[in-house]
Amino acid sequence: MTQFLPAFVLLPLCAFLLCLLVPRGKEKLLSSVVMAAGGLQFLLALAFTLFWWSEGRPVYNVKSLVLYASPDFEFFLDFYFDKVTAVFALTGAALTFLVAVFSRYYMHREPGFKRYFCTIILFFTGYNFVVFSGNLETLFVGWEMLGITSFLLIAFYRDRHLPVRNGFKVLSFYRLSDVCLILAMWMSHHLWHKNITYAQWNETAAVQGLLQNEYLPLLFVSLMMVIAAMLKSAQMPFFTWLPRAMEGPTTSSAIFYGSLSVHIGVFLLLRTYPLWESDTVVKTLVLLTGALTALVAGGITRVQATVKTQIAYASVAQIGLMFIEVALGFHLLALFHFAGNAFLRTYQLLVSPSVLSYKIHNMFFSFSPSPDKHRSGSFNRLRTQWYLLSLKEWNLDHLLHRHFWFPFKWAGKQLNYLFSQWSILVYLFLMLVSLVGYFFRKDLADHWTEMMPLLTLAVSLILLLMAFAGRAEAQRMWLLVVISQVFTAMALIWNSHIELHRLAMYLSGTFTGAVVGLFCLYKITEKEGQVNLHNYHGYAAYHPHYAFFFLLSCLALVGFPLTPTFVGIDLMFMSVSAGQPFHLAGVALNFLLLELTLLRIYCRVFLGQDKKHIHPVAYKSS
């Protein structure tokens, strides 16, 4: 039966490809494809689970597809099935089917009907990659899909300013979780010297041996996993992104941030539990994170003014309790808790518009103010302070922005003096000098060959920071990003002298995406005039095809899953040894800023409010 495990990923993937071929106006056909995929997936998962149960609940692990193989490294997709997979797969398929049925009527005649259903089924594909994954590489494929589909659905109403800004804010947290996960993958490769699977993690003797001989590297892997789970499941102090993610349609909020996507952190903790179950430091961190989140988010829930944010914080508090259950070893309880919370929050979000209208109607016709109660004493002062902190959401959103994201923008603005009309030619000349120097490296002094990787990596980060904070013409910012990636590749060549085929795999998507993206920006400039990044221009309303292909070029540059660049990114990280912290920090920062910079350009050029004002707009008095 193990040969059927890849089918749980192929089914929604085929449904996604089919949705792309369906014409935009065929609403019934589009929704039927997604409903059929969700319903058939649930029936297959139920039948497979019953067979698995009748066989005595063994653990299934199957190596499915080898994407890259070399003497020192192998990149392959691996699928895994146990009780955790069964619960997450059944819950996800059932909720996807129900939300698809509800969305068929809720999204009727919405201009982005096809875009919505294509994104939902792509999300479901990524979700199944995660829950059926048997190794970190397969999990990372789904992890990336969840991130980009979250951004697209939060910014679904792309002609509005706030959904676009909040979508980008959520993407920044998701990208940070991507960095943590890929750092954990990098260290695990150096620990095990191979592509490790979950089945091998469950070998207690091997893990105990690593705890004794390689404690710090294993601690690093565990901490990166926990931080990635905290970011993905909106735990303390990162939970402020979740209510901002409710800007999308209510149905997408239900399946993403009420039920499935927000629980992926719990899934990651369950999967990685064998690594840190004997580590007091990591277990204490998970317990404290869950307890603080449940306490603080529970207080914030009680003072929220909107129903969606109230449900969001209530879900965060329950996930905090799940973190505690996982850390204490109550995994079966955590699975029941996940399923119950997922169905409850989906139901609450789907019925929230109706319930809200009933309550407003009831308050309008039968309002009775609560009696005024005067309290005094230290307890009341403490209660008031807690109320005020909860009302301000403990200022965590401001603190995270000021102390984490603002320094990147500040650094980019300070480096703007390095950017001029002819600076791109200077960077191209430096790139040529570095390339020529590499071919004649035997004639250089040793200290120069040691410094060149760090120097080229520093130039790459400078270019990325300038593009990340820049407000100049979109084409120039795009070229800065592309040149920065060439410098990154050259830094890795200088550092490890990697094979040319690895470099070609990494740069294949980079050059393809660079050419397509530059062509799209050129055509937009030709039709609309020079486009800068000071404002959101909203050109997707007039040039949807250019917007679509520009988004594809961005995904090709960042290494979207199942592209050669995606495999190449893993190979690039593997070329950095465990004793090179500065190289690793530079590559990780590059990985973090690259997607944010590219999608920032996409947002400011193609998303946002329409500037031409040729569409009907209601008068203020209407």
β-sheet bridge partners, residue 77: 65
Judge if 400 and 336 occupy the same domain.
no
For residue 251, being part of any structural domain is answered with: yes
What per-residue confidence (pLDDT) applies to 291? Answer: 93
Compute the distance between CA of residue 220 and CA of residue 217 in angstroms, rounded to an integer: 5
Judge if 199 and 293 occupy the same domain.
yes
What per-residue confidence (pLDDT) applies to 372? Answer: 60
Q: Nearest to residue 396, comparing CAs of 313, 322, 307?
A: 313
Q: Tokens representing 76? A: 């392959």
What per-residue confidence (pLDDT) applies to 190? Answer: 80
Alpha-carbon Rg for the chain in angstroms: 25
For residue 479, being part of any structural domain is answered with: yes
Burial of 368 (C-beta count, 10 Å sphere; 0-12/13-18/19+): exposed
Judge if 181 and 302 occupy the same domain.
yes
Q: How many domains does the chain have?
A: 2
For residue 221, being part of any structural domain is answered with: yes
Q: Where are the alpha helices (DSSP H) in 470-579?
A: 474-496, 500-528, 544-558, 564-574
What per-residue confidence (pLDDT) applies to 446? Answer: 67
For residue 337, being part of any structural domain is answered with: yes
For residue 490, being part of any structural domain is answered with: yes
Judge if 250 and 146 occupy the same domain.
yes
What per-residue confidence (pLDDT) applies to 229? Answer: 92
Compute the distance between CA of residue 609 and CA of residue 162 in angstroms, rounded to an integer: 10
Judge if 479 and 534 occupy the same domain.
yes
Judge if 338 and 422 occupy the same domain.
no
pTM of the entire predicted model = 0.90
Judge contact between 73 and 139, C-beta under 8 A. Answer: no
Compute the distance between CA of residue 20 and CA of residue 564 in angstroms, rounded to an integer: 22
Judge contact between 87 and 335, C-beta under 8 A. Answer: yes
Judge if 163 and 235 occupy the same domain.
yes
Residue 149: give the domain boundaries.
2-359
Judge if 452 and 591 occupy the same domain.
yes
Judge if 350 and 402 occupy the same domain.
no
Q: What is the largest CA-CA distance in the chain?
A: 88
Compute the distance between CA of residue 553 and CA of residue 516 in angstroms, rounded to an integer: 6
Domain boundary pick from 335, 359, 383:
359
Domain boundary pick from 316, 344, 359:
359
520 by DSSP, 3-state: which? helix
For the chain (622 residues), the mean pLDDT of every run of 10, in chain order, is 84 92 89 92 93 89 78 79 92 92 88 90 92 89 89 88 87 89 86 79 70 80 91 88 84 83 92 87 92 91 84 90 93 93 90 71 61 67 82 82 81 74 73 73 68 82 86 87 85 70 72 89 88 86 89 87 72 74 83 88 87 53 40
Judge if 355 and 398 occupy the same domain.
no
For residue 611, being part of any structural domain is answered with: no
Judge if 340 and 445 occupy the same domain.
no
Compute the distance between CA of residue 324 and CA of residue 286 in angstroms, rounded to an integer: 7
Judge if 119 and 21 occupy the same domain.
yes
Domain boundary pick from 315, 340, 359:
359
For residue 386, being part of any structural domain is answered with: no
For residue 403, being part of any structural domain is answered with: yes
